[in-house]
């Protein structure tokens, strides 16, 4: 008889795990609490789904044990992921290495996954919210809001609370009662709240952001900064946000230094202002700054004690982050020390596997988090469907 596998969560990792397991001949059931699978996938990359990255650096993942993530990613690589999607009928394109579906629609990615799941006769139970799972007679008993299922192996791919998703907390509770250590989840890839009010809301500007904390080296990112009524957002801020949130949790007082003209050294900027003043003595500083900065920012910088330094090194204290609902991913989750990196099987509960964001692994923007879902999902699906003792 084929191996019965239940997958908890029909997101990116769950669909990949299910497809890999079903291709090995397992009988797969996916339990998904939403009314449809892959809801989060549809909102990725602003609806375009940045599914991986051609220049993926496996050492860029974060968590208690980044080497664990690197080991998993080497077992199912970006190349294998692209082969998988191309074979399944998805044409892809890249923008400076960030890979998207050629259609530029996340729905295309979800469609090839669900069509493959249907072709492989994977049973997809929606509105099935898993409340707990219990080991029973060498297998598993899985309790949902309205039913109970039995399985030889379970793969947990419940994701995280990021973007306001529900259901993960009860899973983490059930998994911790089985002995798994849970690292308290926190928002990562999230906008940051700053102390003080600045009249800069709505400004978008290419700039450099440097994170200063009391107890870690400074980190720098560059890209489009979005200035908001609560603080700062945009990709460079997202990239630094995990480290800012961690610093706050440690009791540090993190600050951001914003450089609104990163291409121009401070002296060159000062001499440009002097030149303009000389040429147009009737212009005030704000009018001159309107020539190089968005209006709201020009007004703010003109009011600084040292405007040149203000434009190049504008310091803001970080007060916190926006909540989980505004985050793209979470830090924390199931500690990797409790799992075998070759199979993603629990060291504590044989027959229990993990994949995706529910684990304590998160990556920067640029397709890293979906690549983690694809790689870990594939490894867990292949391992769970293999007979014990059979090499992958």
Ligand X SMILES: Cc1cc2nc3c(=O)[nH]c(=O)nc-3n(C[C@H](O)[C@H](O)[C@H](O)COP(=O)(O)OP(=O)(O)OC[C@H]3O[C@@H](n4cnc5c(N)ncnc54)[C@H](O)[C@@H]3O)c2cc1C
Contact 36, 126 (CB under 8 A): yes
| Nearest distance in Å: CB 26, ligand X | 18
CB of 146 to ligand X, least distance (A): 12
Binding track, positions 9-28, relative to ligand X; x by CB under 6 A: xxxxxx--------------
CA distance 369 to 281: 53
- Binding-site size for ligand X (CB under 6 A) equals 40
CA-based diameter of the chain, in Å?
88
Does 356 contact ligand X by CB under 6 A?
Answer: yes
Q: How far is CA 92 from the centre of its chain?
A: 20
Type and span of the H or E element at 188: strand 182-188
Token pair listed for 161: 């609370």
Handedness of CA 303, 309, 312, 315 (dihedral sign): negative
In the shown chain, the binding pattern of residues 25 to 64 toward ligand X, with x for contact by CB under 6 A and - for none, equals ------xxxx----xxx-xxx---xx--------------
Report, in Å, the least distance between residue 315 CB and ligand X: 29
Tokens matching residue 33: 């609490």
Of residues 139, 167, 294, 341, which one binds ligand X by CB under 6 A?
167
With CB under 6 A as the contact rule, the residue among 5, 8, 124, 339 that binds ligand X is 8
Alpha-helical (H) ranges within the chain are 12-23, 39-43, 66-75, 78-87, 106-119, 168-177, 235-250, 266-279, 285-289, 295-302, 307-312, 368-385
Figure out which of the listed residues 20, 108, 114, 157 binds ligand X, where binding follows CB under 6 A: 157
Residue 186 near residue 326 (C-beta atoms within 8 A): no
Q: Closest separation between CB of residue 74 and ligand X, Å? A: 18
114 near ligand X (CB under 6 A): no
User: Is residue 81 near ligand X by the rule CB under 6 A?
Assistant: no
Q: Give least dist CB 122 to ligand X, A.
A: 15
Q: Which of 116, 259, 345, 357 binds ligand X (CB under 6 A)?
A: 357
Q: What DSSP assignment string belongs to 110-158?
A: HHHHHHHHHHTT-EEE-S--EEEEEEETTEEEEEESS-EEEESEEEE--
Stretch 295-324 residues interacting with ligand X (CB under 6 A) = none
b/e string for 2-11 if b means 16 or more Cβ within 10 A?
Answer: ebbbbbbbbb
Name residues contacting ligand X, limited to 233-292 (CB under 6 A): none
DSSP letter (8 states) at residue 208: E
Of 20, 92, 163, 346, the one binding ligand X (CB under 6 A) is 163
**Does 339 help bind ligand X (rule: CB under 6 A)?**
no
Residue 318: strand, helix, or coil = strand
Minimal CB distance residue for ligand X: 11
The interface region with ligand X, picked from 4-12, 262-270, 301-309, 340-348 by CB under 6 A, is 4-12
Nearer to ligand X, 307 or 377 (CB): 377
Can you give the binding site for ligand X, defined by CB under 6 A? Answer: 8-14, 31-34, 39-41, 43-45, 49-50, 129-130, 157-159, 162-163, 165, 167-168, 170-171, 328-329, 356-357, 367-370, 373
């Amino acid at each position: 008889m084929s191996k019965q596998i239940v997958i908890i969560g029909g997101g990116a990792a769950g669909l990949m795990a299910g497809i890999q397991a079903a291709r090995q001949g397992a009988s797969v059931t996916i339990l998904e609490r939403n009314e449809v699978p892959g809801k989060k996938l549809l909102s990725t990359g602003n609806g375009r789904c940045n599914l991986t990255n051609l220049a993926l650096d496996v050492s860029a993942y974060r968590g208690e044990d980044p080497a664990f993530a690197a080991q998993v990613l080497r077992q199912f690589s970006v190349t294998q992921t692209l082969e998988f999607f191309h074979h399944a009928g998805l044409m892809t394109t890249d923008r400076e290495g960030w890979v998207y579906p050629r259609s530029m629609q996340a729905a295309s990615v979800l469609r090839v996954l669900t069509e493959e799941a249907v072709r492989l006769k994977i049973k997809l139970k929606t509105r099935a919210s898993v409340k707990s799972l219990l080991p029973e007679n060498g297998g598993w008993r899985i309790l949902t809001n309205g039913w109970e299922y039995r399985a030889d192996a379970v793969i947990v791919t419940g994701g995280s609370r990021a973007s306001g998703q529900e259901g993960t907390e009860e899973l983490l509770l059930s998994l911790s009662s089985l002995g798994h250590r849970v690292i308290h989840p926190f928002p990562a890839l999230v906008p940051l709240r700053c102390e003080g009010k600045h009249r800069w809301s709505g400004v978008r500007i290419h700039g450099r952001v440097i994170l200063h904390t009391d107890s870690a080296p400074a980190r720098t990112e560059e890209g489009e900064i979005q200035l908001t009524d609560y603080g700062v957002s945009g990709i460079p801020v997202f990239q630094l946000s995990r480290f800012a949130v961690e610093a706050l949790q440690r009791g540090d007082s993190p600050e951001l230094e914003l450089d609104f003209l990163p291409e121009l050294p401070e002296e060159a900027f000062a001499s440009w202002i002097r030149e303009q003043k000389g040429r147009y003595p009737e212009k005030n500083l704000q009018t001159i700054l309107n020539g190089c900065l968005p209006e709201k920012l020009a007004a703010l910088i003109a009011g600084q004690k040292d405007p040149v330094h203000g434009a190049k090194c504008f310091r803001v204290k970080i007060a916190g982050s926006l909540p989980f609902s505004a985050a793209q991913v979470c830090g924390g989750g199931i500690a990797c020390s409790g799992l075998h990196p070759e199979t993603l099987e629990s060291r504590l509960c044989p027959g229990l596997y993990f994949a995706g964001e529910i684990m304590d692994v998160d990556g920067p923007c640029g397709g890293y988090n979906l690549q983690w879902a694809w790689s870990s999902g594939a490894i867990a699906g292949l391992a769970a469907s293999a007979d014990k003792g059979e090499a992958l």
